[in-house]
Chain A
Amino acid sequence: MIEENLTTFYNLPVKDYEADTPLTNADQTAYRVRLDWEQHDSGVKFIDHLNKLLDDPAADQLKALVIGDWGGVGEGNGIEPVIEAIVQAKDKLASLEAIFLADLISEESEISWIQQGDISPLWPAYPGLIEIGVRGGEGLSLGTLSLNNLRKLTVEAGGLPPSIVNEIATANLPNLEHLEVWLGTDEYGGDCTMDDVQPILNSTRFPKLNYLGLKNSVLADDIAAAVGTSSVIVQLQVLDLSMGTLRDIGVEALAVAGNLGHLHKLDIHYHFATPEALAKLDGLGITIDASDPQEPDTYDDETYYYVAVSE
Chain B
Amino acid sequence: MPANTPPLKCLIIGTPGDMRVAGFQEALRELGHPVADVISYPDWVLLSDDGRGDRLSSYDRVRVESPGRDPQALHAIRWRWQHPNKPSNKQPGNAIDDPSGSAASFFDVMDHIILAPTKRETVYLNHPQGILIASDKASTIEHLGGRDVPVPKQLGAMEGPGAGYERVRTAMLQSGMNRVFIKLRHGASASGVIAYQVSPTRELATTTVAMEQSSIDVKLFNTRKIQRYTQEEQVRALLDALCPLGVYIERWVPKAGVKNRTTDLRVVTIAGKARHIVLRMSKGPITNLHLLNERSGPEPLKRAMRSSDWEALIETCERVARCFPSMLYLGIDVAVHADLRKHTVFEVNAWGDLLHGITDRGQTTYEAEVDAMADWRGSLD
Task: Name A's B-contacting residues (CB within 8 A).
Answer: 1-5, 16, 34, 36-38, 41, 69, 72, 74-76, 105-108, 110, 113, 311
- 17 sample A-B contacts, Cβ–Cβ < 8 Å, listed by A number: A4-B259, A5-B338, A5-B339, A36-B337, A36-B339, A74-B178, A74-B199, A75-B199, A75-B200, A76-B199, A105-B257, A105-B338, A107-B255, A107-B257, A107-B262, A108-B254, A311-B228
Nearest Cβ on chain A to B34's Cβ, whole angstroms: 49
The answer to whether B199 touches A36, judged by C-beta atoms less than 8 angstroms apart, is no
Prevailing SS type, chain B contact patch: loop
* Nearest-neighbor residue (CB-CB) of B150 within chain A: A38
Q: A107-B262, A311-B228 are in contact. Are A113 and B339 (CB under 8 A)?
A: no
Size bracket of the B interface: 20 to 34
Give the chain A neighbours of B200 by CB distance below 8 A. 75-76
Nearest Cβ on chain B to A243's Cβ, whole angstroms: 12
- Report which of B199, B228, B254, B257 forms a contact with A37, defined as CB distance below 8 A: B254
The answer to whether B179 touches A74, judged by C-beta atoms less than 8 angstroms apart, is yes
Other A-B contacts than A36-B342, A37-B338, A108-B338, 6 sampled, CB-CB below 8 A, are A3-B262, A41-B153, A41-B251, A76-B199, A110-B204, A311-B204
In the assembled complex, B202 has its CB within 8 A of some CB on chain A: yes
In the assembled complex, B261 has its CB within 8 A of some CB on chain A: yes
Q: A75-B200, A107-B285, A110-B197 are in contact. Are A37 and B258 (CB under 8 A)?
A: no
In the assembled complex, B170 has its CB within 8 A of some CB on chain A: no
| A44 to B317 alpha-carbon distance, docked (Å) | 28
* Residue of A38, A107, A110 with most partner-chain B CB within 10 A: A107
| A191 to B342 alpha-carbon distance, docked (Å) | 40
- Report which of A16, A41, A106, A110 forms a contact with B339, defined as CB distance below 8 A: A16
Give the chain B neighbours of A74 by CB distance below 8 A. 178-179, 197, 199
Q: A37-B337, A74-B199 are in contact. Are A4 and B153 (CB under 8 A)?
A: no
Task: Name B's A-contacting residues (CB within 8 A).
Answer: 153, 178-179, 197, 199-202, 204, 228, 251-255, 257-262, 283-285, 337-339, 341-342
| A2 to B252 alpha-carbon distance, docked (Å) | 17
The answer to whether B339 touches A4, judged by C-beta atoms less than 8 angstroms apart, is no
* Residue of A3, A37, A41 with most partner-chain B CB within 10 A: A3
Prevailing SS type, chain A contact patch: loop
Give the chain A neighbours of B338 by CB distance below 8 A. 5, 36-37, 69, 105, 107-108
The answer to whether A38 touches B342, judged by C-beta atoms less than 8 angstroms apart, is yes
Nearest Cβ on chain A to B282's Cβ, whole angstroms: 9
Give the chain B neighbours of A4 by CB distance below 8 A. 257-261
| A38 to B257 alpha-carbon distance, docked (Å) | 18
Give the chain B neighbours of A16 by CB distance below 8 A. 339
| A19 to B258 alpha-carbon distance, docked (Å) | 24
Nearest Cβ on chain A to B177's Cβ, whole angstroms: 9
Nearest Cβ on chain A to B363's Cβ, whole angstroms: 33
* Residue of B199, B228, B262 with most partner-chain A CB within 10 A: B199
Give the chain B neighbours of A76 by CB distance below 8 A. 199-201
| A107 to B336 alpha-carbon distance, docked (Å) | 12
Give the chain B neighbours of A75 by CB distance below 8 A. 178, 199-200
| A105 to B253 alpha-carbon distance, docked (Å) | 12
Q: A1-B283, A3-B283, A311-B204 are in contact. Are A36 and B341 (CB under 8 A)?
A: yes
